[in-house]
Amino acid sequence: MTSFFHLLSIFFPKFVTFFLLDLSSGVPYCLRVLILKTQKNLQWGDLDVPVMGLQTDWYGQSIANTLMFSLISDPRYLWFIAASNRPAKNHHAARPGNFTAELWKCDVAELFIADPQSGRYFEFNLAANGAWWSCEFTAPRERAEEIDIAFPEVATFAEISLDGGWMSAMAIPLDVLQARVNFGKRSLANVSFITGSPEQRFISATKLPREEPDFHMPADFSPLRFHSLDE
């Protein structure tokens, strides 16, 4: 039987999980969202990179499942990788590789990237089976377009183990991201998960200030920190 952790050993041969800690509160939150950089063109199935672990939900309560993510920039793409050791409940319309709205109604991983100067930001949703969705916003929850328009040339990948653990990835073209929201060292970002559907729990890598879950707070996203994998 191929287990979740066996899949990890295949896709991340030397994977290391970091739990980033906010020392002021003792709660695991990202002080800065880490983006790993490499000059190599990455390929699904050969992603030998560290992953970040999340341990608590929006309210600071421990979560039973292991949630992991990684962000890697290669010469062409920003890779968003998500994984969990527990089965996910996917949206009924989610199909591998398909652009699918309302993935957030079920289990999903989310990436937000914001331009602090203009206030514009993108939300990317990634399901456990590789279904995905994207939307551009001009301000919190203010869509740039009324209809769903897929971010161009996105590719997704997914593997699900026999014990239900999963890992999926989204490759987002860097040139389009730079053109649309000026992606770079001054960008703000956050990674979040929705898990446990239908009794959803909300997990955020960045500690956001509202009492109730709301991921659409671009002004409070984390600054980016870039680190080279090639050194």
Determine the Cα–Cα distance for residues 54 and 74; give it in Å rounded to an integer.
24
- Segment 213-227 shows an average pLDDT of 95
Q: Which residue has the tokens 């909300």?
A: 202
Is it true that domain 4-228 has CATH number 2.60.40.1190? Answer: yes
H helix intervals, the chain: 4-11, 174-181
pLDDT score of 174 more than 70: yes
The DSSP secondary-structure symbol of 12 reads -
pLDDT score of 6 more than 80: no
Question: pLDDT higher for 8 or 189?
Answer: 189
pLDDT score of 2 more than 60: no
The DSSP secondary-structure symbol of 60 reads S
Q: What does the block give as tokens for 61?
A: 């309560």
Question: pLDDT higher for 8 or 118?
Answer: 118
- Binning pLDDT at 50, 70 and 90, where does residue 32 land? low
Q: Which residue has the tokens 């203009």?
A: 118
Residue ranges per structural domain of the chain: 4-228
pLDDT given at position 55: 87
pLDDT score of 19 more than 50: no
Separation of first and last alpha carbons in the chain: 36
pLDDT given at position 136: 98
- Binning pLDDT at 50, 70 and 90, where does residue 28 land? very low
* Verdict on whether the full-model pTM lies above 0.95: no
Q: What does the block give as tokens for 165?
A: 């653990």
pLDDT 10s digits, 178-187: 999 999 999 9
DSSP string, 113-149: EE-TTT--EEEEEE-TTS-EEEEEEEETTEESSSS--
Minimum mean pLDDT range among 51-55, 124-128, 132-136: 51-55
Q: What does the block give as tokens for 176?
A: 């389009």
pLDDT given at position 230: 87
pLDDT given at position 231: 74
Q: How far is CA 103 from CA 133, 168, 197, in A?
A: 7, 14, 11
- Segment 128-135 shows an average pLDDT of 98
